[in-house]
Amino acid sequence: MYVKQLSSGDLIADRRADYAKMLAEGGDHRGAAELMAQALEIAPDWAAGWFRLADYEEKSGRKMAAIEALGRTLRLSPEDIFGASLKLALLGAAETPQQPPSSYVERLFDDYAERFDQALVEKLDYSVPEKLAALIGRMPSQRFRHVTDLGCGTGLFGERIRHCADFLEGFDLSVNMLAKAEAKGVYDRLGQADLSLPPERSGLFRDPAREPADIVSAADVLMYLGNLESVFLIIDRLLAPAGLFAFSVEDAATQVGFVLRPSLRYAHSEPYVASLCAEHGLSLVAVERTIIRMDAGLPVSGILFLARKDA
């Protein structure tokens, strides 16, 4: 996870934090934690600093100290832009959230936007847009009147579906991602939306006269959500009868609904997704297991789905 290292506002505290970071990068997490604690004695209200201390404490094996630092982070930053609540859940100090904090996801991708395409495609071998487009390409119809790309990011999937879409719109939580997508000139319409919220609050239905979509996509989006009920309510309202929903999840490889992973992303099980499809009037057309990207040098297993809304 990339988090912009915000300044404490104190030059001496920042300098000690910089030294702590150097120690951590060299593998001395205990030393990094000690220096970071000194920085926080100078700047005790520095939320980003407490979050960094929690990371160093966890990596040095001091779980309770990490939990304490995360709790301090949340008290100083209750909107949870750092995802401290997710880390607390992974450390067993809190229940797994049904959804990550929207402020955390928005900040994560705002920070990531500038290097998103290069990092995913060139370094992480990201392939979901191509693979979802290939699934759609197997369908009899090769022309679509209206396509809605949820979590469009910088437009990687949009670039691959543009040639067969009469009208293409994209939505994302991150304004920086939307700016990158707009610069590519791929979409006919772009807007900000939050898929973790109920449909009427998501930002997707500001225009009551909006036309239903022939295809709705969510490429590598649902792993930033836990409970997917709100997403499927949104899909039900977006899709035209017989419309297609093309999406991916990280494979939980279990029978349970969803799990939170150390990456702070969620993985979902095939039975959970299939049950949501059935509950919301979607028939599965294709299910394909595949490697969706690399992470820390290891392949991440995912599942691609193509579902059709009942006519």
- Residue 5 banded pLDDT, cuts 50, 70, 90: low
The pLDDT of 135-163, averaged and rounded, is 94
Q: Where are the beta strands (DSSP E) in the chain?
A: 144-150, 165-172, 189-192, 213-218, 239-250, 258-260, 266-268, 282-295, 298-309
| Segment 78-137, tens digit of pLDDT | 999 999 999 999 999 999 999 999 999 999 999 888 887 777 766 778 889 999 999 999
Tell me how far apart the 2 most distant CA atoms of the chain are, in Å.
65
The whole-angstrom separation of Cα 266 and Cα 225 is 6
Question: DSSP 3-state assignment of 7?
Answer: coil
Judge contact between 195 and 178, C-beta under 8 A: no
The whole-angstrom separation of Cα 27 and Cα 35 is 14
- Give me the sign of the Cα torsion angle 131, 146, 191, 273: negative
Tell me how many helices (H) and strands (E) the chain has: 12, 9
Helix axes 29-42, 47-59, angle to 10 degrees: 160
Judge contact between 309 and 239, C-beta under 8 A: yes
Show the 3-state SS of 274-286. Answer: HHHHHHCCEEEEE
The pLDDT of 217-245, averaged and rounded, is 97
| Segment 29-43, tens digit of pLDDT | 999 999 999 999 999
Q: Give percent of the chain with pLDDT exceeding 70.
A: 98
Q: Considering the entire predicted model, what is its pTM?
A: 0.91
Residue 273 has pLDDT above 80, yes or no: yes
Residue 267 has pLDDT above 90, yes or no: yes
User: Which domains are seen in the chain, by residue range?
Assistant: 11-95 (1.25.40.10), 116-309 (3.40.50.150)
Judge contact between 105 and 93, C-beta under 8 A: no
Residue 71 has pLDDT above 60, yes or no: yes
Query: Residue 111 is encoded by which pair of tokens?
Result: 């920070």
Distances from the Cα of 9 to the Cα of 3, 37, 159, angstroms: 17, 16, 42
The whole-angstrom separation of Cα 34 and Cα 106 is 31
The pLDDT of 169-181, averaged and rounded, is 96
Residues forming beta bridges with residue 60, ordered by sequence position? none
Q: What is the pLDDT of residue 119?
A: 73
b/e map 225-252, b = 16+ CB within 10 Å: bbbbebbbbbbeebbbeebbbbbbbbbb
Q: What burial class does residue 9 get, using C-beta atoms within 10 Å of its C-beta: 0-12 exposed, 13-18 middle, 19+ buried?
A: exposed
